[in-house]
């Protein structure tokens, strides 16, 4: 169902005053984790000022260590809604439990399924029963075929609002957190009719190469970019090393928008 052979026209997903997969590019920005109302309001104000309409923020965090911050849970989703309503933004947040798919729709505009859960088939099926658009990230070591089949799980259950995110894959390379597979972008655009975004933060795990990676993604045909921003990254409860602070984010936006590649 997600194949170009089934549908030649691009899928365009419209939420509030935002379209993804259409003529214009989209920027998704926000903190790795929702930590507090104040933290989220500071980020939301910066997004609004930079013209970003879609805010990300994790409430359920799939952390490598069980001793690390696990997220604020439902309270985090409630904060996303409260702050997004105040600033007129749409929201994306990750859900990790099929039991939370339904309630999540009350608080957020897009449900993210993260890399670690790309092949959590019960979660994919639950996402397919939902009518909330789904943002599906490529698994840490998933082939493109596996990625596309994961999207097919969702669409085959009746939810055709799916966005794919390339977020880097595991390789032997150590100078980036993951290896951004730029070739995934034209292949996914060619093989499927779904919108494709590139998460420059989790793919690289560093802050100094985000602009060239975002430009490369857009030049390769990506429909948008995801990036993490935090008011005070050194104190962040997750991904402290890779989040941009607000001035860095503003510079990133200026450079990406100024490149002429962001439509």
User: Contact positions toward ligand PEP, by CB under 6 A?
Assistant: 32, 58, 94, 114-116, 137, 167, 199, 202
Q: Which is nearer to ligand PEP, 21 or 139 (CB)?
A: 139
User: Looking at 28-36, 39-47, 186-194, 215-223, which segment touches Mn ion (CB under 5 A)?
Assistant: 28-36
Residue 242 is given by DSSP the state T
158 phi and psi angles, rounded to 5 deg: 110, -5
Give the nearest distance from C-beta 99 to ligand PEP in angstroms.
19
Angle of CA points 219, 50, 60, to nearest 5°: 85
144: tokens are 């493109």
Residue 43 binds: one of Mn ion, ligand PEP, none (C-beta under 5 to 8 A by kind): none
- The binder of 200, among Mn ion, ligand PEP, none, by C-beta within 5 to 8 A per type, is none
User: d(Cα 74, Cα 91) in Å, to the nearest integer?
Assistant: 14
Quote the tokens at residue 234: 């050194």
Cβ 117 vs Cβ 140: under 8 Å? no
**Least distance in angstroms from the C-beta of 61 to Mn ion:** 8
| Nearer Cβ to ligand PEP (35/199) | 199
CA–CA distance, 188 with 78 (Å, rounded to integer): 33
Number of chain positions touching Mn ion (CB under 5 A): 2
Binding mask 231-260 for Mn ion (x = CB under 5 A): --------x---------------------
Closer to ligand PEP at the Cβ: 3 or 36? 36
Q: Applying CB under 5 A, does 35 fall inside the site for Mn ion? A: no
**Residues written for the chain:** 263
Q: How far apart are alpha carbons 193 and 99 in whole angstroms?
A: 29
32 is an interface residue for Mn ion by CB under 5 A: yes
Least spacing, CB of residue 152 vs ligand PEP, in Å: 19
φ and ψ at 18, to 5 degrees?
-125, 135
Q: Are 29 and 36 in contact (CB under 8 A)?
A: no
Q: Which one of ligand PEP, Mn ion, none is in contact with 76 (Cβ closer than 5 to 8 A by kind)?
A: none
Query: Which does residue 115 bind out of ligand PEP, Mn ion, none, counting CB within 5 to 8 angstroms by kind?
Result: ligand PEP
Beta strand pairing status for 54-56 and 162-166?
A: unpaired
Task: Give the interface segment with Mn ion, choosing from 29-37, 69-77, 160-168, 177-185 (CB under 5 A).
Answer: 29-37
SS3 6: coil
How far apart are CB 118 and ligand PEP at their closest, in Å?
A: 8
Hey, what are 205's tokens?
Answer: 């795990």
Instruction: Give the CA distances from residue 168 to residues 4, 60, 144, 255, in Å, rounded to whole numbers and listed in that order.
Output: 23, 21, 12, 22
Residue closer to ligand PEP, measured from CB, 13 or 142 = 142
What residues make contact with Mn ion under the rule CB under 5 A?
32, 239
């Amino acid at each position: 169902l997600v194949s170009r052979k089934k549908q030649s026209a691009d899928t365009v997903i419209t939420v509030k005053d935002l379209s993804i997969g259409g003529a214009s590019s989209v920027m998704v920005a926000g903190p790795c984790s929702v930590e507090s109302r104040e933290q989220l309001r500071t980020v939301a104000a910066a997004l609004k000022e930079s013209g970003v309409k879609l805010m990300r923020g994790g409430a359920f965090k799939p952390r490598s260590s069980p001793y690390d911050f696990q997220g604020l849970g439902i309270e985090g989703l409630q904060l996303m809604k409260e702050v997004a309503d105040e600033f007129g933004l749409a929201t994306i947040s990750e859900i990790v439990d099929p039991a939370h798919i339904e309630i999540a729709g009350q608080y957020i505009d897009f449900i993210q399924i993260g890399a670690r859960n790309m092949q959590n088939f019960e979660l994919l099926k639950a996402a397919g029963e939902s009518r909330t658009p789904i943002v599906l990230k490529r698994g840490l070591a998933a082939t493109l075929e596996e990625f596309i089949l994961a999207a097919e799980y969702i669409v085959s259950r009746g939810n055709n609002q799916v966005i794919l995110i390339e977020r880097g894959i595991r390789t032997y390379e150590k100078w980036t957190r993951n290896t951004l597979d730029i070739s995934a972008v034209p292949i996914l655009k060619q093989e499927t009719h779904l919108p494709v975004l590139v998460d420059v933060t989790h793919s690289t795990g560093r802050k100094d190469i985000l602009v060239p990676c975002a430009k490369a993604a857009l030049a390769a045909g990506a429909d948008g970019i995801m990036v993490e921003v935090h008011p005070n990254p050194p104190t962040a409860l997750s991904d402290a090393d890779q989040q941009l602070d607000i001035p860095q984010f503003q510079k990133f936006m200026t450079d990406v928008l100024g490149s002429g590649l962001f439509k």
